[in-house]
Amino acid sequence: MKISLQNYSNSKAGTIRGRTVVFTWFCVCVFVASIIVAGAEAAWFKPFNVTYDHRALIIDGHRRMLISAGIHYPRATPEMWPDLIAKAKEGGVDVIETYVFWNGHQPVKGQYNFEGRYDLVKFAKLVASNGLYFFLRIGPYACAEWNFGGFPVWLRDIPGIEFRTNNAPFKEEMKRFVSKVVNLMREEMLFSWQGGPIILLQIENEYGNLESSYGNEGKEYVKWAASMALSLGAGVPWVMCKQPDAPYDIIDTCNAYYCDGFKPNSRNKPIFWTENWDGWYTQWGERLPHRPVEDLAFAVARFFQRGGSLQNYYMYFGGTNFGRTAGGPLQITSYDYDAPIDEYGLLNEPKWGHLKDLHAALKLCEPALVAADSPTYIKLGSKQEAHVYQENVHREGLNLSISQISNKCSAFLANIDERKAATVTFRGQTYTLPPWSVSILPDCRSAIFNTAKVGAQTSVKLVGSNLPLTSNLLLSQQSIDHNGISHISKSWMTTKEPINIWINSSFTAEGIWEHLNVTKDQSDYLWYSTRIYVSDGDILFWKENAAHPKLAIDSVRDILRVFVNGQLIGNVVGHWVKAVQTLQFQPGYNDLTLLTQTVGLQNYGAFIEKDGAGIRGTIKITGFENGHIDLSKPLWTYQVGLQGEFLKFYNEESENAGWVELTPDAIPSTFTWYKTYFDVPGGNDPVALDLESMGKGQAWVNGHHIGRYWTRVSPKTGCQVCDYRGAYDSDKCTTNCGKPTQTLYHVPRSWLKASNNFLVILEETGGNPLGISVKLHSASIVCAQVSQSYYPPMQKLLNASLLGQQEVSSNDMIPEMNLRCRDGNIISSITFASFGTPGGSCQSFSRGNCHAPSSKSIVSKACLGKRSCSIKISSDVFGGDPCQDVVKTLSVEARCITITNGSFQL
Q: Which CATH number characterizes residue 164's domain?
A: 3.20.20.80
Strands (E) across 6-151 are located at: 20-24, 50-52, 57-59, 62-64, 66-71, 95-99, 133-139
> 234-243, 313-322, 677-686 — which is least confidently predicted?
677-686
Q: Which CATH number characterizes residue 505's domain?
A: 2.60.120.260
What is the Cα–Cα distance from 133 to 203, expressed in whole angstroms?
18
Is pLDDT of 43 > 60?
Answer: no
Check whether residue 76 and residue 211 sit in a common domain: yes
Q: Which residue did the predictor score with more confidence, 636 or 902?
A: 636
Check whether residue 156 and residue 302 sit in a common domain: yes
Check whether residue 270 and residue 319 sit in a common domain: yes
pLDDT of res. 664: 83
Mean pLDDT of 138-147: 98
* Residue 4, domain member (yes or no): no
Q: Which residue did the predictor score with more confidence, 141 or 23?
A: 141
Please give the C-alpha separations between residue 258 and each of 137, 241, 250, 255, in angstroms, as whole numbers: 21, 14, 22, 8
* Residue 475, domain member (yes or no): no
Is pLDDT of 226 > 50?
Answer: yes
Catalytic residue among 173, 275, 343, 385: 275
* Residue 314, domain member (yes or no): yes
pLDDT of res. 804: 63
What is the Cα–Cα distance from 55 to 859, expressed in whole angstroms?
46
Q: With both helix axes pointing from N to C terminus, report the angle between 168-187 and 215-231 in degrees, rounded to the nearest 10.
A: 20
Percent of the chain with pLDDT over 70: 89
**29-38: b (≥16 Cβ within 10 Å) or e:** bbbbeebeee
Q: pLDDT for 580-631, tens place per residue?
A: 999 999 999 999 999 999 999 999 999 999 999 999 999 999 999 989 999 9
Residue 901 confidence class, pLDDT cut points 50, 70, 90: low
* Residue 149, domain member (yes or no): yes
Check whether residue 217 and residue 265 sit in a common domain: yes
Q: Is the peptide bond before 740 cis (omega within 30 degrees of 0)?
A: no
Among candidate residues 771, 790, 811, the one where a domain is terminated = 771
Q: Which CATH number characterizes residue 840's domain?
A: 2.60.120.740
Q: pLDDT for 273-287, tens place per residue?
A: 999 999 999 999 999
Closest to 647 measured CA to CA, from 639, 638, 656: 656
Closest to 397 measured CA to CA, from 51, 66, 65: 51
What is the Cα–Cα distance from 126 to 133, expressed in whole angstroms?
10
Other CB atoms within a 10 A radius of the CB of residue 393 amount to: 7
Sign of the CA dihedral running 789, 794, 799, 805: positive
Catalytic residue among 206, 497, 816, 893: 206
Check whether residue 585 and residue 665 sit in a common domain: no
Mean pLDDT of 425-437: 97
Residue 483 confidence class, pLDDT cut points 50, 70, 90: very low
Check whether residue 135 and residue 267 sit in a common domain: yes
Query: Which DSSP letter does residue 666 get?
Result: G
Is pLDDT of 484 > 90?
Answer: no
Sign of the CA dihedral running 442, 448, 453, 454: negative
* Residue 717, domain member (yes or no): yes
Concerning whether 220 is annotated as a catalytic residue, the answer is: no
Phi, psi of 700, rounded to the nearest 5 degrees: -130, 140
Please give the C-alpha separations between residue 127 and each of 133, 135, 588, in angstroms, as whole numbers: 7, 10, 67
| Residue range of the domain that includes 630 | 499-641
pLDDT of res. 409: 95
Mean pLDDT of 796-825: 78
pLDDT of res. 180: 98
Bridge partners (DSSP) of residue 391 are 408
Check whether residue 131 and residue 271 sit in a common domain: yes
Check whether residue 681 and residue 803 sit in a common domain: no
What is the Cα–Cα distance from 530 to 634, expressed in whole angstroms?
8
Q: Is the peptide bond before 813 cis (omega within 30 degrees of 0)?
A: no
Count of domains for the chain: 5
Percent of the chain with pLDDT over 90: 81
Q: Which residue did the predictor score with more confidence, 285 or 477?
A: 285
DSSP secondary structure, 199-254, as one string:
EEEEES-SGGGTGGGGHHHHHHHHHHHHHHHHHT---S-EEEET-TT--TTSEEEE
Residue 261 confidence class, pLDDT cut points 50, 70, 90: very high
Q: Which CATH number characterizes residue 708's domain?
A: 2.60.120
Q: pLDDT for 727-746, tens place per residue?
A: 999 999 999 999 999 999 99
Concerning whether 206 is annotated as a catalytic residue, the answer is: yes
Check whether residue 682 and residue 567 sit in a common domain: no
The three-state secondary structure class of 23 is strand
What is the Cα–Cα distance from 616 to 579, expressed in whole angstroms?
11
Is pLDDT of 225 > 70?
Answer: yes
Q: Which residue did the predictor score with more confidence, 199 or 903?
A: 199
Please give the C-alpha separations between residue 818 and each of 84, 680, 769, 860, in angstroms, as whole numbers: 22, 32, 43, 13
Q: pLDDT for 561-577, tens place per residue?
A: 999 999 999 999 999 99
Check whether residue 817 and residue 876 sit in a common domain: yes
* Residue 36, domain member (yes or no): no
Radius of gyration over every alpha carbon of the chain, rounded to an integer in angstroms: 30
Closest to 821 measured CA to CA, from 871, 891, 890, 894: 894
On whether the CB atoms of residues 350 and 785 are closer than 8 A, the answer is no
Check whether residue 183 and residue 301 sit in a common domain: yes
The three-state secondary structure class of 781 is strand
Q: Is the peptide bond before 350 cis (omega within 30 degrees of 0)?
A: yes
Is pLDDT of 465 > 80?
Answer: no
Residue type at 768? N
* Residue 31, domain member (yes or no): no
Q: pLDDT for 620-672, tens place per residue?
A: 999 999 899 999 999 999 999 999 999 999 999 887 788 999 988 888 889 99
DSSP secondary structure, 492-520, as one string:
-EEEEPPSS--STT-EEEESPPPHHHHHT
Mean pLDDT of 110-132: 98
User: Quick one: residue 129, left, alpha or beta (phi over 0 = left, psi -120 to 50 = alpha)?
Assistant: alpha
Q: pLDDT for 162-214, tens place per residue?
A: 999 999 999 999 999 999 999 999 999 999 999 999 999 999 999 999 999 99
Residue 24 confidence class, pLDDT cut points 50, 70, 90: very low
User: At 896, which helix (H) or strand (E)?
Assistant: strand 889-900
Check whether residue 753 and residue 787 sit in a common domain: no
The three-state secondary structure class of 871 is strand
Longest dimension (CA), the chain: 102
Question: What is the average pLDDT score of the chain?
Answer: 89
Following CA atoms 826, 830, 831, 834 in sequence, which dihedral angle do they give, to the nearest 10 degrees?
140
- 3-state DSSP: the chain helix, strand, coil percent, rounded to 5? 20, 35, 45
Mean pLDDT of 244-265: 97
pLDDT of res. 114: 98
Among candidate residues 751, 771, 791, the one where a domain is terminated = 771
Is pLDDT of 487 > 80?
Answer: no
Q: pLDDT for 541-560, tens place per residue?
A: 999 999 999 999 999 999 99
The three-state secondary structure class of 606 is coil
Q: Which residue did the predictor score with more confidence, 34 or 503?
A: 503
Closest to 244 measured CA to CA, from 207, 281, 295, 198: 207
What is the Cα–Cα distance from 98 to 73, expressed in whole angstroms?
7
* Residue 93, domain member (yes or no): yes
State the pTM of this model: 0.91
Q: pLDDT for 287-306, tens place per residue?
A: 999 999 999 999 999 999 99
Mean pLDDT of 94-100: 98
